[in-house]
Amino acid sequence: MNMDMFTEEWRKNIYLRCNVAPMEQLLQLCLNPETGITPEGLRDAGYRKIDQLEQRYQVQAEEVFWQKAQDSVDLLAQYVEKCEQHVFSGTHLDKAKELIRQHAAAQEAKDWENICRTQDRELLMAFIKKCKDGMYSQSHLQEALTWVERLDWQTAQDSHDAVVMNGYIQKCATGFYLMNHLEEAKALLEKWANGTLLEEWNALWVLKNTDPQKKVLLDRFVQKYAQNMTDTAMEYKAKAEELYKVIEDAEEARKDWINAKKTNTILDYANFLEAHPYSEYREEAEELIRSMKGNLLTDMKCYPFKYSRSMMYEYISTGALTMEDLVDVSHTLTDRAYSHIKRYPNLASEQRALPVSTLENPHSEDGNTDIYFWGIPSSGKTCVLAGLMSLTGRLGFSFDPKGPGGGGHYAMDLRNYARTSMLPPSTEQSYIQVIDGEIDDENGYLRKISLIEMSGEKTARFASINNPTGLKDLGEGAAGLLSNENSKVFFFVIDPTANEKEISLNALGEQPQVVKQSDALDCIASLLNQNPGLMRRVVAIHIILTKSDTLGDIVTPEMLNDILNQQGYQAVLNRIKRICEMYDINQTSDNKVGLYPFCVGKFMPGDVYTFDETDSLKILRVIQRNAIPYVNPNKGGIWGSLKEWFNS
């Protein structure tokens, strides 16, 4: 057939008339690749007998291809491929493979002779592919691979290009080369890369983090060395990732740094470092923290009450102060105190509400000596009572957990708080606590006592009343207790840590008022003075100064008087002295009012302490000295009591 006749128009006409043409004619056209007529084209043209034609085509096409392929290695390879793809039936597959081996053996020797000294890498790679595909034997494969490796190594060395060298290194890493120059390649790449890498890094590093150009240069740096696998490049790519964070954080860090410098505290610097760990101000902040630690720790030891539990937890949790700082070096905290603060970040987390008496009319048993504690909220009354309750067994003292006063459970909880060196919570202000107890006098004879804690809030609120009418203004149940026939001992509890300590009163429907501690106690003293019947039953009035460990290591009576006078307590002290002289109170001390410094233990910052019974025992001795003999009303009055005493 003439090639010129196989035009596009001719092929189109064949496809249009395929269903009227003889199958044999169409088959011969498909078997002749020069015609361009294919089974696929006939199927697309809608030839109705396409399935039969394709079956005959596959058989005859394979034979046609096979006749042409027997003298060509390449055509034989194509035949094998078509058999494996199931295009051909594979009738001659084994023969094709045998012919390939025969042709390839002769061709392999000829090819190797032509390329064994070639500088053409592509020819070598083609030979290697035929070896790996099975067309050629493995006889010259190792030599070919070695020769390619030498060419690649020389090319990589001559290039002075990190990308080219990285390509060589990747082939070594995957095992493409059995013998290679991997270590030399890495060394060269390190040398090439580091020269400009360090220069470029230093150029962008010196720019301020807020400079927009720094981000641009950093992007270029990362893109340039993205494919560089050297140790140095990997190190600086990691640094680049950190620098991205620094740049992103820089503007916000600058604002926060200005604020931290204004307040200039360790906590502010520690919080700054936590918020901006990559900031350019990091070293300065760390140095400021180091330089300020000494003064802070000294201040903590001198003034522990300035530092609340939450403050100390923040110092510890932010890392501003470590265990080494607080415990090992400065001895500001004990091991136990440090662990306690970490476990209980605030006081509320270690405390539970104290049980309170729900008696509508609290009372003390007839014949007891009633011991009263007067003070405003947070003055330390509860800590004084906790210290006393912890002394059960000392001087014959004990309290009745089920006594009629109703404060037994309250007393047990207070004792537990003191003995475990934990601060008790604020007490419920709606009730008066009455704790029934006993104590031996100095000769070992029993005395019955009632320890009475008056509401601190009621005490403060009494001072704000314009026209008080009497004892009932001290709160529900106060008048009944104070009016009984029992002998009484009064302790005025003062917190000297804050000059002119104040309490805010914000009752519903009332104007907010502020009452000073000194005025509240003076009002109580004045009220007592206006009740002579009550005062004739008072055998002692003394003053307890709580939180005494803040007053210094050596505390003298003169020093205590000076502190109280300086803080505005002169009026109440003078009033109490006059009351004692008028009613012959404090006979055992020539009518002098005792000033008793008190601390429930050695306090540390964070509202933690180590319990110490020393001051509690002093207060208990005062109670012991002033508790009068118990008169049992059921045993014939005073004479029956004396008779019982002599017969005991």
Count how many residues are written for the chain: 648
Within-domain flag for 104: yes
Based on the fold, state whether residues 428 and 321 are members of the same structural domain.
no
Bridge-partner residues for 452, per DSSP?
372, 434
Res. 402 pLDDT band, cuts 50 70 90? very high
Answer with the residue of higher pLDDT: 203 or 468: 203
Task: Tokens for 224, please give them.
Answer: 């340039």
DSSP string across 584-605? T--GGGTTPPEEEE--SEEEET
Please state the rounded mean pLDDT for residues 175-197.
75
Q: 102 and 182, same structural domain?
A: no
Instruction: Say yes or no: 341 and 481 in one domain.
Output: no
Predicted local confidence at residue 135, as pLDDT? 74
Sign of CA dihedral 7, 13, 18, 23: negative
CA distances from 453 to 410, 491, 634 (A): 11, 10, 28
pLDDT at 636 over 60: no
Task: Establish if 632 belongs to a structural domain.
Answer: no
Q: Within this chain, do residues 433 and 477 fall inside the same structural domain, yes or no?
A: yes
Residue with more model confidence, 358 or 602:
602
Task: Return the top range by mean pLDDT from 60-64, 70-74, 240-244, 596-600.
Answer: 596-600
Same domain, 275 and 233: no
CB count within 10 Å of CB 425 equals 16
Q: How far apart are alpha carbons 431 and 587 in whole angstroms? A: 32
d(CA 409, CA 421): 19
At 88 the pLDDT is 79
207-214 mean pLDDT: 80
pLDDT at 555 (0 to 100):
66
Looking at the fold, whether 195 and 49 belong to one and the same domain comes out as no
Higher pLDDT, 385 or 570: 385
CA distance 563 to 499: 9
Q: Is residue 96 part of a domain?
A: yes
CATH label of the domain that carries residue 610: 3.40.50.300
Mean pLDDT score, 257-261: 90
Calpha distance 462→464 (Å, rounded)? 5
> How many domains, in total, are found in the chain?
4
Tell me whether strands 446-453 and 433-440 are parallel, antiparallel or unpaired. antiparallel
Residue 360 per-residue DSSP state: S
Has residue 357 been placed in a domain?
no
| Sign of the four-CA dihedral 71, 77, 78, 83 | positive
Positions of E strands within 389-483? 398-399, 433-440, 446-453
- Report the C-alpha gap between 367 and 487 in whole angstroms: 8
For residues 172 and 375, what is the distance between their CA atoms, to the nearest angstrom?
A: 86
- Biggest CA pair distance of the chain: 157
Q: Evaluate whether 30 touches 43 at the Cβ level (below 8 Å).
A: no
Rounded Cα distance, 491 and 495, in Å: 13
Q: Of 224, 248, 272, which closes a domain?
A: 248
Cα(112)–Cα(114) distance, rounded to whole angstroms? Answer: 5
- The torsion defined by the Cα of 618, 620, 622 and 623, in degrees rounded to 10, comes to 170
What pLDDT, on the 0 to 100 scale, is given for residue 245?
A: 80
Residue 440 in this model has a pLDDT that exceeds 70: yes
For residue 608, is it within any domain?
yes
| Mean pLDDT confidence for 306-323 | 90
Residue 102 sits in the same domain as residue 183: no
Instruction: Write down the pLDDT at residue 491.
Output: 95
> Is residue 25 over pLDDT 80?
yes
Task: Tell me, yes or no, whether 244 and 268 share the same domain.
Answer: no
Q: Give residue 44's pLDDT band: very low, low, confident or very high (50, 70, 90).
A: very high
Same domain, 129 and 234: no
How do 487-494 and 538-545 pair as beta strands?
Answer: parallel
Which are the contacts of 196, defined by CB distance < 8 A and separation ≥ 6?
none
pLDDT in tens, 470-514: 888 887 788 889 999 999 999 999 988 755 556 666 544 455 677
What is the mean predicted confidence (pLDDT) over 116-133? 81
CA–CA distance, 638 with 203 (Å, rounded to integer): 101
Residues 6+ apart with CB under 8 A from 291: none
Q: What is the pLDDT of residues 536-564, one digit of tens each?
A: 999 999 999 988 776 666 667 777 777 77
Quick one: pLDDT band at residue 356, thresholds 50, 70, 90? confident
The pLDDT assigned to 373 comes to 93
The continuous run of DSSP H or E covering 350 comes out as none
Last residue of a domain, one of 221, 248, 275: 248
Name which residue leads in pLDDT, 158 or 544.
544
Beta bridge partners of 492: 374, 543
Q: What are phi and psi of 398, to 5 degrees?
A: -155, 160
Residue closest to 573 by CA, chosen among 517, 616, 513: 517
Q: Quick one: average pLDDT of 81-86?
A: 83
Question: What are the distances in angstroms from CA 507 to CA 458, 510, 511, 513?
Answer: 12, 5, 8, 9
Do 355 and 625 meet the contact criterion of CB atoms below 8 Å apart? no
Distance between CA atoms of 424 and 345, rounded to whole angstroms? 16
- Residue 643 domain flag: no
Q: Is residue 40 part of a domain?
A: yes
Identify whether residues 132 and 197 lie together within a single domain: no
Q: How does the average pLDDT of the chain come out, rounded?
A: 83
Q: Which residue has the higher pLDDT, 606 or 122?
A: 606
Residues 447 and 590 both lie in one domain: yes
Summarize the confidence of residues 157-180 as an average pLDDT. 79
Judged on CB neighbours under 10 Å (0-12, 13-18, 19+), 174 is: exposed
Average pLDDT on 129-144 reads 79
CA distance 87 to 79: 9
- Calculate ∠ Cα 162-164-166, nearest 5°: 65
Residue 506 Cα distances to 463, 464, 513, angstroms: 14, 11, 7
SS3 of 488, please? Answer: strand
Q: How many CA atoms lie within 13 A of 502 on its CB side?
A: 6
Which residues, 6+ apart, have CB-to-CB distance to 39 below 8 Å? 30, 50, 53, 54, 57
Per the CB < 8 A criterion, the answer to whether 573 and 593 are in contact is yes
For residue 363, being part of any structural domain is answered with no
Q: What is the pLDDT of residues 216-237, one digit of tens each?
A: 888 888 888 787 777 777 888 8
**Could you say which DSSP state residue 548 is in?**
G
- Say whether both 283 and 421 belong to one domain: no
CA distance 50 to 86: 19
User: Is the model more confident about 422 or about 549?
Assistant: 422
Which residues span the domain enclosing 340? 264-349
